[in-house]
Every structure is written in structure tokens, then in C-alpha cells.
A and B are shown apart, each in its own frame.
Chain A
Amino acid sequence: MKYESQKIAYAYFAVAMALFAIQVIGGLLAGLIYVFPNFLSELLPFNIVRMLHTNSLIVWLILGFFGAAYFLIPEESEREIHSPKLAYLQLIILVVGTLGVVVTYVFNLFEGNWLLGKEGREFLEQPKWVKAGIVVAALIFLYNVSMTVLKGKKTAITNILLLGLWGLALLFLFAFYNPGNLALDKQYWWYVVHLWVEGVWELIMASILAYLMLKLTGVDREIVEKWLYVIVAAALFSGILGTGHHYYWIGTPAYWQWIGSIFSSLEVIPFFAMMAFAFVMVWKGRRDHPNKAALLWSLGCATLAFFGAGVWGFLHTLHGVNYYTHGTQITAAHGHLAFYGAYVCLNLAIFSYAMPILKNRDPYNQVLNMGSFWLMTSGMVFMTFVLTFGGTVQTHMQRVVGDYFMDVQDQIAIFYWMRLGSGIVVVLGALLFIYSIWVPRKEMVEPGPIERDRLENDPDHVAAES
């Protein structure tokens, strides 16, 4: 750790990992309710469990991005974070807000209260005071990191990262507008969620991946930056009008069907470019970095994002296909692998890279961490296949043959059982990851004869960052 204020990331990553655990346990509960429909129906109804599962995901991913920014910006701009105190204040606001949402929801407190109660929306649903808190926290964050970058060295990585983070914060403002009808509610919801995950979050993803590639492979910064700009251009070109693929059936004009189909098809390109980028950098790189776990998560991120977001997204993005598949388990298959590949793996990659440095136990044995990658990934990929097959059967029975929704649900129960099984594997993988990050003590790996020989005789072989 070169800069003292990088330590801020430690607290952010810790809270993010706690929410990660809550998120996957929420997913497990939801998976159980699919096969035992009355499970917890009084105590914790399905809509609340689903809200916990999706919202804790979003919140922990964003906390991870904030932590990543606090970790990498000092190194990139070669100076300490403007104000560590503000950074911790920001975290406290976000934690209080998150707890506030959970408690308000689970116990349905302050029903009907304008400021403290629920808003009655399907999404973008936080009590107003929490929304205001999120904005305050975002303003503190933007001020803090922007001041740091403005006073320090400006690199392509920090520029793109800041562009993404500014976009993330500004787009959230649409959450304050609560229109009178559902079509408009959905339209504005996508301004937030689509323009996040298929727009500005891709900038954050590309810049964090670029930082990891720079550190892990030792490739020239100039080459990394060229890739970064091309990826960002492709992401924004396709992603902004790609929003149209959510506007097929919500009451918006018909031209969105073609705009959405064409532009969102091109959204595959930036994800393919990120995968190509990661592998080309590893092939070209000279540095043989000892943090193999971070490299595994980085390559896994780029690959699974291409398949989850790119391939599985394209699968049902053309409006002629989506007419049949909309809202079936096909959507759930895509949602799971896309979020896991693009943003969960990205966060776990930066955690795996940064935590040994923050905990000052670098290098160390990362077999457990890498085991958790394969456990979680195989669980998630199996879940994606299961939901895709289940969704295909569902699409045919429900949308082509015209069977009743609940009759079809009974017919595809076998897929929900297999999904529950794969979910258990994912939860075990997630818990193993958290264990591997926090529990094992400093464990130096003594170089064996081959490694000793390479250290002595191969000038391109670097043992660790010095």
C-alpha cells in the first residue's frame, strides 16, 4: 500500500462483503419459496425477499465501486484522498440508509408517510429520506474523489472511472420522480437501471479492469489506454439507445422496437472487446504477478460478462423474440449470469487484488479463493442453463400453446429444484470467498526450485509488486 488513505477501501469492502452474504442468502430463500410456495409467506413474503435479493446486490456492488475508487485513485493520481473523514462519513450515511430501507420494508413502518414510509413502487423504492441520504453521500463521494484527481495526476483510468461514477450519481436523480402511471414509471426506472448497467457501469467496469490488467500483467499503460477508449466508445454508442429494448411492450411508440433491437444488438461488442482486452493483455504481459486469484477473477469477469450480458442478452433482445420470451425464466437466466459475470466478478477481482495489500499479507496462498471462484462460477453457470431450459419450456407452453401461467409453473418445477441446488453451491462459494479473504492468517509461500530458478535467471519474471 503506497498511500495511507487507500485504507478507506478496507471499510467499504468489508460492508460490501457483508451485504454480499445477505444478498446470496436472500437468493437462497427466494429459490426455496419457488419450490415451497408457502415458506415464510407470513413472516417474509416473496416480494420482500426479492427486494432484499436485488437491492442488496445493487448496494454492495456500488459500495465495492466506491471502495475500488478509493483504492485505485490515490495510486493513479499519485496523492492521498482529499478527505478520508468525508469518505467514512459517506459510508456511514449509506449504511444507515440501507438499514433504514430494510427495517422499513420488513416491518412496514410509517405506512403512507411521505418522508418515512414506502412509496408503493415496484422498483426505485426507498423511503424519501433514504433517497436524499443517497444523494448526499454521492455528492460527498464525487467531491472527494474529484478533488483528489483534479489536484493529482490525470490518467485515462481515473478519467473514465470518474465519468462512470458521475454518471451513476446523476442518473439516480430520476428515482425522485414518481409518475402517475405505470408506463412512465417503467420508462424512468430504465433511465436509472439500464443506463447504469448497460451504460455508465460499463465505464466503471472497463476502468477497474484496465487498472487490474496494468497491475497484474505489467503491459504498457499506452496500450491499455487505447483499448479503454475503444471499449468506452463502443459501450456508450450501443448502450444509450439500447435502452429501447425495454420499451417494446410498456406503451411507448412502436419505433422503439427497431431502435432497441438494433442498438442493443451492438451492446455485445463492448463486452466482447473487454474479453479480448483481458486475454490479449495477459498474453502480452511480462509480469508474472503472484496474485493469481485476482487474475482468475479478472479473466472470469471479462469472459462471463461476455456470455451473461452479451450472448444471453442478445438471445432475447430482438423484439420478435422478446415478444414470446418477455418476463419468462429466460430473463432470469440472463439477469443472473450478466450481473454475476460483469459486476460481481469485477468486485471480487478488485477485492482479491486489494485485500492482501490492505491487510499487509502479500503474497499468500490463495487456493481457497480460487476454489471459491470455481464453486461460485460453476453454480452460477449451471443455474443459467437450468433457467434457460426452464424458460424455453415456459415460453413454449405459456406463450405459444397458451397454457395458464400456474399450470406451466407446475410443469417446470423440476427446473426450480435444480436451480435451488445450484443456488446452494453459489452460496457455499460466496461464503468460502469471504472466509478466504478474512480468516486465513499470513501465509508466505516459499518458492520451490523452479520458481527460484526463474527469479534468478528470467529477467521478465517478477515475483511481486515492490
Chain B
Amino acid sequence: MSDMSDSSLIDELPGELLMWVLIISELLVFGAGLIAFMGVRLTDPAGFAEAQSHLHRTGAAFNTAVLVTSGFLAAQALHWRLAARRGAARLALIGAALLGVIFLVIKGVEYADKAAQGISYETHPFFLFYYLLTGFHAAHVLAGVGILLLVTWRDDPRNIEAGAQFWHMVDLVWIMLFPVIYLLG
């Protein structure tokens, strides 16, 4: 029986352990969803390409820029908070949350346009995955905006770090979704 201390790589992780558990779980879910999407796509490449042509690539590309900028602001907020610049940190967090809202507005316009064209999740398997994956992601953006505002209010550096961790995960998932769903030709 050697030492009882459980010092391991896990203890060296920055931030909350449970946030990392959540992040890995989320990546597994979205990763599995994308693999399933590509698997089903193999069965009907032409149908998927046709369905994909109804998407707004420019809007999605703009949204990518919005989300990455927002992620940058969230990371910056932690640096400023650690440098004892609380006001700047809070402003950065509010900015990050606002960009999240802009993302959701653009996404909402996209969904409304699909609905106007009579497209639903039952139209084609492509849209089933489109709505599932981007819809789950949008729900995470919404939750992320809430979390960012929460850590703006309770701005302990540990809280900001956890919020930024979550927000980067939302970022990362979008960066995986965007090329596969919108661009893959």
C-alpha cells in the first residue's frame, strides 16, 4: 500500500473538474452526432447536397466570426480579472454575452427563413441532423449567455474561469459544426 494522495494529471487541470467532465461529455455527443450525420450522408450524397444548398453560408460564416470574437472577449475577461481590472473584465463579459445574443438572432432569422420555405425536420434526413445539431448548439449558446451574465455578477476569478471554459466549448462545437454541415461539398 503506497501513498494515499491522489495527485495525478487530474489535479493539474486548470478550472473545475466537473466542467471538464461536462465538456468531454458534450464533445462526445456532438462528435457522435456529426459521425452519424456523415454516415447517413453516405447513403444519399445528392439529396444531402441539394438540401444543403438551402442553407445561408454567409450568415453562418458571419456567426462563426461573432462566436470566436466572443470567445476571445471571455478569455480576455479572465486575464483582466486576474490583473485586478474588474471593470474591464465585466465589460468584456457583457460584450461576450451580447455577441452570443447576436449569434442567436442570426440563427433565429435562419430558422424563420427555413420555416417560411416549409422546411422542417421531416423534410429530409439532412434537416433532421441540421435541426438537432444546430438546435442543441443554440440551446448551449443560450445557456452560455446566462452563465456569462451570472459570472459578470459573481465575478470571482474561479467563476469567470468556469464560465469561459463552458463558452469555449460552445465555440469549439460550432467550429466543428460549421464546416461539416454548411461547407462540406
Contacts and interface: CB of A to CB of B under 8 A. Distances in A.
Given A266-B28, A286-B1, A255 B21 contact: no
Interface in A117-145: none
A258 B128 contact: yes
A255 B25 contact: no
B130 to A, nearest CB: 11
Nearest to A241: B29
Contact of B4 (A220, A226, A259, A263): A220
Given A265-B32, A286-B4, A254 B128 contact: yes
B36 A238 contact: no
Nearest to B25: A237
B53 to A, nearest CB: 22
Interface string A266-310: 100100000000000000111000000000000000000000000
A173 interface: no
B51 to A, nearest CB: 16
B17 A259 contact: no
B184 interface: no
B132 A255 contact: yes
Contacts of A220: 4, 6
Interface in B100-139: 121-122, 128-129, 131-132
A286 B1 CA distance: 7
Contact of B25 (A238, A258, A286): A238
A59 interface: no
A230 B25 contact: no
A219 interface: yes
A37 B88 CA distance: 77
A253 B28 CA distance: 23
A223 interface: yes
A233 interface: yes
B132 A234 contact: no
B22 interface: yes
Nearest to A318: B36
Question: How many of chain B's residues touch chain A, expressed as a range?
Answer: 10 to 19
B95 interface: no
B149 to A, nearest CB: 23
Contacts of B128: 254-255, 258
B91 to A, nearest CB: 32
Contacts of A253: 121
B9 interface: no
B160 to A, nearest CB: 21
B42 interface: no
B181 to A, nearest CB: 14
Contact of A234 (B21, B122, B131): B21
A258 B36 contact: yes
Interface residues of A, number: 25
A269 B121 CA distance: 30
B119 to A, nearest CB: 15
Nearest to A461: B1
A286 B2 CA distance: 9
A398 B22 CA distance: 41
Given A219-B4, A229-B18, A262 B33 contact: yes
Interface string B1-45: 100101000000000011001100100110011001000000000
A230 B132 contact: no
A269 B32 CA distance: 15
B34 to A, nearest CB: 10
Nearest to B28: A266
Nearest to B122: A254
A251 B114 CA distance: 25
Contacts of A269: 25
Given A226-B17, A286-B4, A262 B32 contact: yes
A263 B33 CA distance: 10
B122 A263 contact: no
A292 B9 CA distance: 32
A443 interface: no
A226 B5 CA distance: 13
Nearest to B4: A220
A229 B22 CA distance: 12
A262 B35 CA distance: 11
Given A226-B17, A266-B25, 10 more contacts: A223-B6, A233-B21, A233-B25, A234-B21, A258-B36, A258-B132, A263-B29, A265-B32, A284-B6, A460-B1
Top 10 nearest A-B pairs by Cβ distance?
Answer: A262-B32, A237-B25, A233-B21, A223-B6, A286-B1, A233-B18, A230-B21, A262-B29, A255-B132, A460-B1
23 contacts: A219-B4, A220-B4, A220-B6, A229-B17, A233-B18, A233-B21, A233-B25, A234-B21, A253-B121, A254-B122, A254-B128, A258-B36, A258-B128, A259-B132, A262-B29, A262-B32, A262-B36, A266-B25, A266-B29, A284-B6, A285-B1, A286-B1, A286-B4
Interface of A: 219-220, 223, 226, 229-230, 233-234, 237-238, 253-255, 258-259, 261-263, 265-266, 269, 284-286, 460
